[in-house]
Structure 1
Amino acid sequence: MSINWEGVMPAVTTKFNENDELDLKAFKINIQAQLDAGVHGIVLGGTLGEASTLSDDEKRTLTRETVAFVNDKVPVIINIAEQTTKAAIEAAKRAEEDGAKGLMMLPPMRYKSGDKETVEYFKAVANSTKLPIMVYNNPVDYKVEVTLDMFEDLLKNCPNIQAVKESTRDISNITRIINRFGNRLKIMTGVDTLALESLLMGANGWIAGLVCAFPKETVAIYELQKVGRIKEALEIYRWFLPLLELDINPKLVQNIKLAEVATGIGTENVRAPRLPLSGEERKHVLDVIAQGIKTRPSLPDYKNL
């Protein structure tokens, strides 16, 4: 199997109802908005998708329902964030059975694995599945870095490791990856506040967060920069930045779900131990969202550039 690792792929939120059950109706409203905006893939069960709170059955339901709903318009990718190699291999197997087209993979959770342990973990899962894999490299939040030397080993031994979600926060790392691996390792930027900069430095696409609430604006930035209309992309990006900063925050899930409510394509419900925002924190986020909506830019016909 192969995925065209480029374009905008939303790391979608998981919707819950008042009884803390999956809200598939609200979920599909958001997925449809993403498809209408022209996204290039859907990523399920990431940090923003509250993966650590989902049961295996809920992940399977989300995968199957999304695959059926999307109906091959774009690839559906599910995140693997497990504590053991055995569990990660089982998760990859379930993903393949449920129709996912690819995997996003974090290093082992909770245990801070060493370099060799991390490489062997990725190898074991990659060699257990036919699905293409994007390694999620986020040492800032998850404290394990996949270095270029580690990628060298992985790419040599695992042809289905095809991409990296680059979240080191170091823009120059994009150039290092390209210099080292050329087109062998596709780069998907994973930090909303560095997205346009990353794309201009050669990233192939954007695993996005605020796209969950503002899909058209996100895709417009990608498409405009792709055809060299940088000034127009930059104008939208500068408008977007205060909103994008809601993603680089420990409460990104609550922040972005509030934004989804404001744009009419989501609900605020989160799963405990998360709680809805309150007090001054809530007021600040709502003010940022309100200002963004008030000044929302007119977009060019970005789908036909």
Structure 2
Amino acid sequence: MSVKWEGIMPAVTTKFNDDDTLDFAMFETNLKAQLDAGVHGIVLGGTLGEASTLTESEKRSLTKSTVDMVKGKVPVMITLAEQSTKAAVKAANMAEEDGASGLMMLPPMRYKSTDRETLEFFNSVAINTSLPIMVYNNPVDYKIEITHKMFDELLKHDNIEAVKESTRNTMNITRIKNRFGDRLKIMTGVDTIAFESMVLGADGWVAGLVCAFPEETVAMYELIKAGQIKEALDIHRWFMPLFELDIVPELVQNIKLAEVYTGLGTENVRAPRLPLIGDERKFAIKTIEESLKTRPALPDYKNL
């Protein structure tokens, strides 16, 4: 399946049973809610997916199961977050074998590569897979920036098609559009600035709180796309306290707790992560409960 880099693509959480095995039953419950809400793609194995704790076998099972559950309704992307070039190429090949539609690819993990090394890392994967690639540019968290000059080089590969823009600098939306036009699609990757990013021209949103609130997230996107900015802004302002749960180190625990409240998940995380306790838990619960009390009535956003 080809990938249209637009719309809402949930960075879905990985569900675990109490015995720390993959919980495919709850995962399917959440996935169905995403599809029913009208999402445009699924992103597996990112930060929210706790990919750093998953085994190779689990990642492959997750990919194959998701492809089977989705049944071609939307593309399924798997995240590449590897420490070596060799491992990244292998992961890309396995993703292709397992039926993934595309890749969300991070720079080398742990080692802070130079620009030349980073380019070679992406180049090596691009020439060894036919899958379309979305480059995840998040220098805030991963300390490596893929600059626009570097994209000049990377876009020589036809299958490098999009960027998950997570620099937190919304000026980059316009800079990318001015420099690359539609050659480089832009998926905003930070919930708190998704509204303004899409108004400025981002093609879509790799979202986090969508895991617990899929309808509100898709409604925001569709309203912006239809030019109903005021209506979208109202949802954005309601959403902001929840969005801020996604920009802290405990984002996985926060969003999984929100999923519990909306019936779309459990709190189970994989160690070294632990469920929230104390003031952090109280704050998250207060934020979620207050937001649920004022949950907005949504328009018929699927028929705008």
Distance 1:135 1:145 in 2: 11
Q: Is the 8 A contact 2:2 2:75 kept in 1?
A: no
Secondary structure of the 1:245 match is helix
The 5-angstrom pairing of residues 1-305 of structure 1 reads 2-156=2-156, 158-305=157-304
Structure 1: which 4+ aligned runs deviate by more than 3 Å? none
Secondary structure of residue in 2 paired with 1:225: helix
Q: Per the alignment, in what secondary structure is the counterpart of residue 73 of structure 1?
A: coil
Alignment length (residue pairs): 304
1:11-47 deviations in whole A, cap 9, x for unaligned? 0000001100000000110000000000000000000
SS of the aligned residue for 2:295 comes to coil
Q: Distance in 2 between matches of 1:277 and 1:240?
A: 21
Letter paired with 2:160: I
Deviations 1:156-203 (A, max 9, x none): 2x1100000000000001111011100000000000000010000000
Cα distance in 1 for partners of 2:260, 2:94 equals: 32
Q: Distance in 2 between matches of 1:15 and 1:2?
A: 27
Q: CA deviation at 1:239?
A: 0.3
**Residues 105-153 of structure 1, C-alpha deviations (whole Å, 9 max, x = no match):** 0000000000010001000001100000000000000000000000000
TM-score (norm 2): 0.99
Cα distance in 1 for residues equivalent to 2:165 and 2:261: 29
Q: CA deviation at 1:280?
A: 1.0
Distance in 1 of aligned mates of 2:187 and 2:220? 15
- Return 5+ residue gaps in structure 1 as ranges: none
Q: Distance in 2 between matches of 1:215 and 1:245?
A: 17
**Partner deviation per Cα, 1:57-99 (whole Å, 9 max, x = no partner):** 0000000000000000000000000000000000000000000
How many angstroms apart in 1 are the aligned matches of 2:26 and 2:142?
30
Hey, what's the Cα distance between the residues in 2 that align with 1:38 and 1:3?
Answer: 16
Q: Distance in 1 between matches of 2:277 and 2:73?
A: 38
1:2, distance to aligned residue in structure 2 (A): 3.1
TM-score, with structure 1 as normaliser: 0.99
Q: Secondary structure at the match of 1:110?
A: coil
Percent identity over the alignment is 71
Q: In the alignment, is the contact (CA less than 8 A) between 2:187 and 2:204 conserved in 1?
A: yes
C-alpha distance in 1, partners of 2:235/2:92? 37
What SS is found at the alignment partner of 1:182? Answer: helix
After superposition, give the CA deviation of every residue in 1:252-285 in whole Å (9 maximum; x if it has no partner): 0000000000000101000000000001110000
Please give the alpha-carbon distance, in whole angstroms, between the structure 1 residues aligned to 2:201 and 2:113. 30
Aligned with 1:13: secondary structure?
coil
What is the distance in 1 between the residues matched to 2:196 and 2:108? Answer: 29
